[in-house]
Structure 1
Amino acid sequence: MTFYNRVEELEALNSSFESPGHDFIVIYGRRRVGKTALLKEFCADRPHIYFLAAQEAEYRQREKFVDKVAGYFDERMPRIDGWDEAFDYLGDKLDTEDLVVAIDEFPYLVAENDSLPSYLQGFIDEQLQDTNSMVVLCGSSVSTMESEVLGHESPLYGRRTAQFDVQPFSFKQARKVMDYNMADSIRSYAITGGTPMYLTLFDYDRSIAENVRSQILSPTAVLYNEPEFLLRTELRNPARYMSILEAVALGHTTPNEISGATGIDVGPLSKYLQTLRRLRLLDREVPVTALGKKSKRSRYHVADEFLRFWFRYVEPNRSSIEEAPEIVYDGTIEPDLPTHVASTFENVCQEVVWEGIRNGAFEPYSEVGRWWYGEDEIDIVGLSPTDNRILFAECKWTSEPVGEALVDNLQAKAPKVRWGPDDRTEEFVLFSKSGFVDGLEERIGDNWSLFALADINGHLSTD
């Protein structure tokens, strides 16, 4: 499979390895996000030992690890009775050669022996730090990596020389994988999200409909049961968590709404929501103008576009998909897909704003996000407290060109955003899938900007 992006991460890893002294690197992030691909790409051209841990008995894990080390040095595997001896053996070998030692899926080792971080601490303090070698711990269980490796209570705390929280691809990054036109790329991204594995499962010589039918709606496809698999690897009893994710994907975004949709009382619900946030499956959002970000007007949304798609269309229709997937796609998914994509389009437009801030196309704003109060909502609001400047933007994924009605509507809502002084500087932006009515640009002020798909493509194509 082709390796995409991750240029900054590779450069940082290369720089660390080439600099004098030892390195202890931590790489973590959600499953399927490309951590192993990054690790293997980095190791490919340099001496290394790569060990992939498995869910098996501790003695077998340790035995296989020591066998990997011995195999690299072309030795017979020694008799080792504990992890302390295993790391002593590795340390002796690192006295003779500088190399990368990568331990992938480290949480599986900790699950069998929670003293392992203590053994690693001793190895780092007493042996690794006197070498020019690098040890990399990689893991998909974000909670384990954050608590057992990065957390204040971990014996390894403060010993890392760098850490990489590997994120899904942004839309701009994903565009390098998706060989569609701009509109279909946004539609496709609304289905796969930025997870590299999901992106590369799609065949971009085929239509979106064909890809959805073959890669998601087929009971034999990897993605058909993927969310259920992800939850079962992280949670012992995922049923309630699945019901919460389905409720949020279907538009129940406040705690009260989620409680009503799932039957889970608001009190216990907060614990489930917290766990889903910790697993990076849910995001909590407050209005961009909220002080301290502790607003009671919080909303939740599914943190991954594919999971949002799956819980919106696949999970509620499992029985029908087993019987007639074509009917589910034609009758349920395709007619509703524009509504689903509209939320993704807002995120893409927000990405355009940030990209424009970085490259100077927009004035600088320190905060960018959604705003809502009561029945009023604005898709994107940017705040620049240092010079009392505010940005208002609306994003329309509609089949008709945008006209003056949206201009008037946004101008009417702007004064309701209580932020800054009365003489604040206001800027306005409209994003539209289908462009704008003739003459609109001439009828609006200099503080307005219009972005059609071609403009969005241009801004996200620059490096």
Structure 2
Amino acid sequence: MTFHDRAEEIDALETAFESPGHGFYVVYGRRRVGKTELLKEFCADRSHIYFLAAQEAQDRQREKFIEKVADYFDDRVPRIDGWDEAFAYLGEKLATEQLVIAIDEFPYLVEENDSLPSYLQSFVDEQLTDTESMLVLCGSSVSTMESAVLGHESPLYGRRTGQIDVQPFSFQQAQDIIADDIEDAIRSFAVTGGTPMYLTLFDYDHSLKENIQTHVLSPTARLYNEPEFLLRTELRNPARYMSILESIATGHTTPNEISGATGIDVGPLSKYLQTLRRLRLIDREVPVTASPKQSKRSRYQVADEFLRFWFRFVEPNRSSIEEAPDIVYEGTIEPNLPDHVATTFEDVCQEAVWEAIRRGEFGPYSAVGRWWYGEDEIDIVGLAPDADRILLAECKWTTQPVGHSLVSQLQEKAARVRWGPDTRDAEFALFSKSGFVDGLAADVGDNWSLFSLRELAAVL
């Protein structure tokens, strides 16, 4: 797979390696996000030992690790009886040479021996700190990495010199891979999301329809069973989690709605939702004006665009896809794709708002998100840090230009957003796939910003 972007992450690792003294970095993030490619890119031009752990018995894991170390130093493989001896052997070798030691899928090692962090603690304290070398621990099990390596209870707590929580690409980053005009890029991003493996699997010389049919709707395609595979690697019994994700992807976003759609009582449901959040498969959202800890107006959304697409269109129709994928695409996906893309468009517009804030094109805002109360909802609301100004924006992925009615509706809803003093200033913005009716820009005030796809592309 071609390596894309990750300039900040590479710079952080390179700076750590080149700084005086030892380095101990932790790299983690959900599966398929590109952690291994990041490590390989970083290690490519410097001396390194890269060890990819596997789900094997710990004796075999340790043997393979020692073989890797011995092979690098052109040494005879020593007889090693425990991980403490394995790291002691590595420490002896590091006394003679500066290099990177990258251990990928570290959670697999911890699964087989939960004392491993303690052995690593001794290695870091007694041997690594006296070298110029760098240890990198990498893992896809975010919960294991956060507890066994980063957590307060871990023997390794406080010893890392840095960490990278590798995130999916933003739309702005993904555009470099998609390389389409912004409308087609948003439509493609609504299917692949920012996961590098999914992004790079699509062939952007072909239409979105062809890519979906080839890479998603074929029972032999790599992405056809991908979400189920991911869940099975993390969960022993994923059936209920699958039904929860499907219910959220199909529009049931509150705990009561999810409970009704899945038949899982609200009490037990909270534990399932917590697990899916820990795996970074769903996000919990509250109105931007509310306290995340105190608000009871929670909504949940699938955290990845591809998973949202798959659980909305593929999982409910798998039997039909096996028999007639073309009919599923033409009868189910194609008519409902604009509605699916509209949600992605809101997120892209929110990304543009943050970029405009950084550039000074909007005033400074410290929080940006959705707002809702009762029947009212506003796609984007920004809150100024000193509570004297608010930004309110709507995003429309429609075939018709936006007109004066949306302006009036947004002004009416803005008056019902309870935040800040009565004397607050308000900034407004509209984002529209199909532009705006003639004369709208002249009719609205200076506190309004109108973004067609062309202006949106210029910001991003």
Partner of 1:215: 215
How is 1:200-211 mapped onto 2 (pairs within 5 angstroms)? 200-211=200-211
The answer (yes or no) to whether the contact 1:385–1:420 under 8 Å persists in 2 is no
Partner of 2:2: 2
1:234 and 2:234 correspond: yes
Deviation at 1:292, TM superposition (A): 5.2
Q: Distance in 2 between matches of 1:41 and 1:362?
A: 37
Q: Distance in 2 between matches of 1:40 and 1:22?
A: 20
- Equivalent residue letter for 1:100: V
Partner of 1:69: 69
Q: What are the superposed Cα offsets for residues 331-389 of structure 1, whole Å, 9 maximum, x if unpaired?
A: 10000000000000000000000000111111110010000000000000000041500
Partner of 1:13: 13
Q: Secondary structure at the match of 1:75?
A: coil
Deviation at 1:315, TM superposition (A): 0.2
1:442 and 2:455 correspond: no
1:411 and 2:411 correspond: yes
Partner of 2:136: 136
1:307 and 2:307 correspond: yes
The answer (yes or no) to whether the contact 1:434–1:453 under 8 Å persists in 2 is yes
Of 357-366 and 247-256, more deviation after overlay is shown by 357-366
The answer (yes or no) to whether the contact 2:387–2:420 under 8 Å persists in 1 is no
1:197 and 2:216 correspond: no
1:257 and 2:257 correspond: yes
Partner of 1:24: 24
The answer (yes or no) to whether the contact 1:174–1:194 under 8 Å persists in 2 is yes
Q: Distance in 2 between matches of 1:369 and 1:277?
A: 18
Partner of 2:457: 457
The answer (yes or no) to whether the contact 1:24–1:134 under 8 Å persists in 2 is yes
- Equivalent residue letter for 2:255: P
Q: Distance in 2 between matches of 1:107 and 1:385?
A: 40
Q: What are the superposed Cα offsets for residues 105-147 of structure 1, whole Å, 9 maximum, x if unpaired?
A: 0001111111111100010011000000000000000010001
The answer (yes or no) to whether the contact 2:58–2:113 under 8 Å persists in 1 is yes
Q: Distance in 1 between matches of 2:265 and 2:80?
A: 52
Partner of 1:170: 170
Partner of 1:186: 186
How is 1:321-360 mapped onto 2 (pairs within 5 angstroms)? 321-360=321-360
Deviation at 1:291, TM superposition (A): 3.2
Q: Secondary structure at the match of 1:416?
A: coil
Q: Distance in 1 between matches of 2:236 and 2:277?
A: 17
- Equivalent residue letter for 2:11: E
- Equivalent residue letter for 2:408: D
- Equivalent residue letter for 2:48: H
Deviation at 1:76, TM superposition (A): 1.4
How is 1:361-376 mapped onto 2 (pairs within 5 angstroms)? 361-376=361-376
Q: Distance in 2 between matches of 1:242 and 1:231?
A: 8
- Equivalent residue letter for 2:268: P
Partner of 1:53: 53
Deviation at 1:179, TM superposition (A): 2.0
Deviation at 1:75, TM superposition (A): 1.0
Deviation at 1:222, TM superposition (A): 1.1
Partner of 1:88: 88
Q: What are the superposed Cα offsets for residues 284-335 of structure 1, whole Å, 9 maximum, x if unpaired?
A: 0000001354211110000000000000000000000000000000110000
Partner of 2:105: 105
Q: What are the superposed Cα offsets for residues 232-279 of structure 1, whole Å, 9 maximum, x if unpaired?
A: 010001000000000000000000000000000000000000000000
Q: Secondary structure at the match of 1:86?
A: helix
Q: Secondary structure at the match of 1:291?
A: coil
**Alignment RMSD (CA, Å):** 0.7
Q: Distance in 1 between matches of 2:191 and 2:276?
A: 20
Deviation at 1:180, TM superposition (A): 1.4
Deviation at 1:422, TM superposition (A): 1.0
- Equivalent residue letter for 1:76: R
Normalised by the length of structure 1, the TM-score is 0.99
Q: Distance in 1 between matches of 2:59 and 2:297?
A: 51
The answer (yes or no) to whether the contact 1:381–1:390 under 8 Å persists in 2 is yes
Q: Secondary structure at the match of 1:393?
A: strand
- Equivalent residue letter for 1:191: V
Q: What are the superposed Cα offsets for residues 7-34 of structure 1, whole Å, 9 maximum, x if unpaired?
A: 0011111100001100110000000000
The answer (yes or no) to whether the contact 1:100–1:133 under 8 Å persists in 2 is yes
The answer (yes or no) to whether the contact 1:286–1:293 under 8 Å persists in 2 is no
Deviation at 1:445, TM superposition (A): 0.7
Q: Distance in 1 between matches of 2:374 and 2:351?
A: 26
The answer (yes or no) to whether the contact 2:286–2:292 under 8 Å persists in 1 is no
Q: Distance in 2 between matches of 1:359 and 1:237?
A: 47
- Equivalent residue letter for 1:343: T
Q: Secondary structure at the match of 2:361?
A: coil
The answer (yes or no) to whether the contact 1:28–1:139 under 8 Å persists in 2 is yes
Q: Secondary structure at the match of 2:370?
A: strand
The answer (yes or no) to whether the contact 1:243–1:262 under 8 Å persists in 2 is yes
The answer (yes or no) to whether the contact 2:288–2:371 under 8 Å persists in 1 is yes
Q: Secondary structure at the match of 2:401?
A: coil
Deviation at 1:101, TM superposition (A): 0.3
Q: Distance in 1 between matches of 2:176 and 2:308?
A: 22
Partner of 1:41: 41
Q: Secondary structure at the match of 1:222?
A: coil
Q: What are the superposed Cα offsets for residues 196-253 of structure 1, whole Å, 9 maximum, x if unpaired?
A: 0000000000000000000000111111000001100100010000000000000000
Where in structure 2 are there 5+ consecutive unaligned residues? none
Partner of 1:279: 279
- Equivalent residue letter for 1:320: S
Q: Distance in 2 between matches of 1:36 and 1:2?
A: 12
Q: Distance in 1 between matches of 2:44 and 2:84?
A: 28
Q: Percent identity?
A: 77
